[in-house]
Amino acid sequence: SSKYRPFPAIALPDRQWPSRTIERAPVWLSTDLRDGNQALFEPMNAERKLRLFDLLVQVGLKEIEVGFPAASQTDFDIVRHLIESGRVPDDVTLMVMTQAREDLIVRTVEALRGARRAIVHVYNATAPLWRRTVFRLSEDEVMALVERQVRCLRRLTDACPDTEWVLQYSPETFCMTELEVSLRACTTAMQAWGAGPGRPIILNLPTTVEVATPNVFADQIEWMDRHLPQREHVILSVHPHNDRGTGVACAELALMAGAQRVEGCLFGNGERSGNVDLVTLALNLYTQGVAPGLDFSDLGAVARTVEACTALPVHPRHPYAGDLVHTAFSGSHQDAIRKGLAARSEGGFWEVPYLPIDPADIGRTFDNVIRVNSQSGKGGIAYLMERHFGLVMPRRMQVEFSAVVQAHADTSEAEVDVDRLWTLFAATYLAP
Ligand code: KIV
Ligand code: ZN
């Protein structure tokens, strides 16, 4: 049971509403160490990668893409270190990426030797622009490439039966590819891998570059969901980027359209405007009453570690995680929050105006919720005086003192912290 209601208790009278919902959390894959890392000013060194890996495990990620071992010696060494040091918990699977060249596939399989379970991620671009301009390949040649690389992987992995091998195939640029071509590429990969009972395959459909509204992507996912053969042996995955700022919406609509797995990065790091943000997705589920299976109960600590590893700051307005997102400066909001916190909510659900999540659930104290500047009113000031100094001010005094505080905030043009509040209070009422 959850303290959050799935939907606002308002229904549209003339139709079934909402038309679809997300009932359960998807399988999550973190690509922080691959797609996230390749987009940094300064890619992470081994120490930072391992620190981030440990954090991802701690948060509850069960599938983690760790890099490109055939293309980078650092990545190769990290994969070897992870496997040999026993740093990978039994319920966590490493995924690595490889390009379609036999020598690279050989090296990739070598990097994973001894892993209990491993996902090998092969990909190639399928969209007409890439076929025509970047690779100069016909559609048939693209299919031949998929078949060749997957067959090669199958041959090499069949020779290492101690590892449970999973193939992930991504038709890169899926969102810009004709659906029949995507389907053909995916079924080619399935056949070459021998997908079927006991031999699942992950088909990962990316918005490599987000180019359309999220409903278009959802329609594409739904079409694939309906047309893929042997659907029960396929794990249908999505990999949204955020070029139009709608990566989260794409992922959510894709889940409603049949996707079962989502790839993304913490706080939306990644190429250009990022990969889809796993934190926002997970906490969106949480605040709809669906257990996300990821632990963000100390979100501040998660943010600090990610910032240290990536050298990228989390924006103060970032959903859920930003320093300012649970803060009310405005007088009317402060008043509403104070009343909501004091009231008992209906049916035990979390219902506090302007606070879609209980800050305590993500490790935030209430000290940040009500802060004072020139926009604040008497309610917020009274709340802070009572909370920090045990001072219950009568109403007339609240009105009088808030005028003093506002005058100070207007001239200083700055936030008034609690120490300053006390100084103003003492100067107004306690001065000899
Ligand atoms: O964005 C993308 O298309 C990718 C693929 C390789 C999955 O990162
Ligand atoms: Zn990507």
Distance CA 104, CA 97 (A): 10
The finding on whether 401 has its CB within 6 A of some atom of ligand 1 is no
Q: Euclidean distance between the first and final Cα of the chain, in Å?
A: 57
* Residue with tokens 């990545």, as numbered in its chain: 75
Residue 161, strand partner residues = none
Please count the other Cβ atoms lying within 10 Å of the Cβ belonging to residue 372: 25
The ligand 1 atom nearest the CA atom of 35: 8
pLDDT tens for 327-375 read 999 889 988 998 898 887 677 889 999 999 999 999 998 777 899 999 9
Here the tokens at position 84 are 């040999």
The pLDDT, as a whole number, for residue 8 is: 67
Distance CA 71, CA 79 (A): 12
The pLDDT, as a whole number, for residue 341 is: 86
Q: Which of 38, 126, 168, 170 has the most ligand 1 atoms within 8 A of CB, as the residue to mutate?
A: 170
> What is the SS3 assignment for 117?
strand
**Phi and psi angles of residue 95, each rounded to the nearest 5 degrees, phi first:** -120, 140
Please name which of 173, 227, 232, 167 lies closest in space to residue 203, comparing C-alpha atoms: 167
* Residue with tokens 């990316």, as numbered in its chain: 206
Distance CA 203, CA 167 (A): 8
Whether 239 has a binding-site annotation, put simply, is yes
**Phi and psi angles of residue 259, each rounded to the nearest 5 degrees, phi first:** -70, 150
The arithmetic mean of pLDDT across residues 171-193, rounded, is 98
pTM of the predicted model as reported, rounded to 2 decimal places: 0.94
Q: Ligand 1 centre and the CA of 134: distance in Å?
A: 16
Whether 335 has a binding-site annotation, put simply, is no
The finding on whether 123 has its CB within 6 A of some atom of ligand 1 is yes
Ligand with the closest atom to the CA of 177? 1
Q: Ligand 2 centre and the CA of 205: distance in Å?
A: 10
Q: Which of 32, 119, 241 has the most ligand 1 atoms within 8 A of CB, as the residue to mutate?
A: 241
Q: What secondary structure letter does DSSP report for 134? A: I
ipTM of model over 0.85: yes
The finding on whether 208 has its CB within 6 A of some atom of ligand 1 is yes
pLDDT tens for 241-262 read 999 999 999 999 999 999 999 9
> What is the SS3 assignment for 354?
coil
The finding on whether 241 has its CB within 6 A of some atom of ligand 1 is yes
